[in-house]
Amino acid sequence: MGKFIRFLILSLLSLSGHNGWTQVPSAPMKDTEAFRTALLKMSSGVNTIESDFVQEKKLSILSGNLISKGYFCFRRENLIRWEYSVPYRYLIIINQDKIFIKEENNQKQYDIQSNRMFQEMNRFISGCIQGEILKNEKEYKIRYFEDPKSYFVTLIPVSEKMRQMLNEVQIWFDRKDLTVSRIRMMESGGDYTRIDFTNKKLNADIPLEKFRFK
């Protein structure tokens, strides 16, 4: 009986690890310097990234999580396209210092300078994807972990102001090619946003057309 209960508890624990609160690598990274060097070398050779994504938003006021899916692409320098297709169609294009947002019949375009929040988010997300954010040790306390599948980095904002908005940022890097496979932004109160990147292609030919506002 005791064995059965132990088995049941272990099974439940392993199941809960796969639902929402995904298991995170907890072993400290053995050679952080080698990882950082390899990451910077890899990202300097990457001109385009395209990928599908699944975004999960946990909000304490809702019993279920908001899950959206879509297509993401990036092209140096600073061209980003987020194309949400499920459950709503929503397009965000960042082209240098301009943002274009389109939803159904409504579209808007403005200077990224006029939306400080978006400017910061853009800097932050593209920094995460390219690994540039790991250079920013003044703004974040950075810790490195690993497991057989991933390199895992946590960033805790140094500034109290920033921490009120983002408690911690977690980035999973695929061990095979050092691309970002997951980002999780933890907010105060347990809410979080998790973005999983799948079907990644590096240096594919992404036409500039994809980043034009129509």
Partner 1 sequence: MPGKPALIAFRRSLACLFMVQILLGSCSFSAFKGYRRDTGGEIIKPIVSWFRVDSGYLMMNTKIDLMNRHLSGIMIVKPLPMMGYRTVLITELGLKLLDMEFYPDRPVKVHYLMESLNRGSIIKTLAQDLELMLMTGRPYENPEVFRDPSTGEKVLKFKDRGRRFYYGIAAGDGRASNGLLTSGIVKKARVDYFSDDGLKIDSVKISHFNINLQLQFLKIHEYSDNAVE
Task: Please identify, using beta-carbon distances, which residue of 29 and 93 lies nearer to partner 1.
Answer: 93
Q: How far is the CB of 30 from partner 1 (least distance, A)?
A: 33
Both tokens of residue 62?
């809702």
First to last CA, the chain: 66
Both tokens of residue 78?
């600073």
Task: Please identify, using beta-carbon distances, which residue of 134 and 186 lies nearer to partner 1.
Answer: 186
Q: How far is the CB of 119 from partner 1 (least distance, A)?
A: 11
Q: How far is the CB of 86 from partner 1 (least distance, A)?
A: 5
Alpha carbons 94 and 79: distance in angstroms, whole number: 6
Both tokens of residue 189?
């109160």
Residues that bind partner 1 (CB under 8 A): 55, 57, 59, 61-68, 82, 85-90, 92, 101, 103-104, 106, 108, 110, 114-118, 121, 125, 161, 164-166, 185, 187-189, 191, 193, 195
Task: Please identify, using beta-carbon distances, which residue of 145 and 182 lies nearer to partner 1.
Answer: 182
- 47 neighbors 130 (Cβ within 8 angstroms): no
Q: How far is the CB of 60 from partner 1 (least distance, A)?
A: 9
Q: How far is the CB of 54 from partner 1 (least distance, A)?
A: 11
* Pairs from 29-35 (Cβ < 8 Å, separation ≥ 24): 29/144, 29/145, 29/146, 29/151, 30/146, 32/144, 35/144, 35/151
Peptide bond into 25 cis (omega under 30): no
Task: Please identify, using beta-carbon distances, which residue of 42 and 121 lies nearer to partner 1.
Answer: 121
**What residue has token string 């995170």?**
24
Task: Please identify, using beta-carbon distances, which residue of 39 and 195 lies nearer to partner 1.
Answer: 195
Both tokens of residue 101?
């947002």
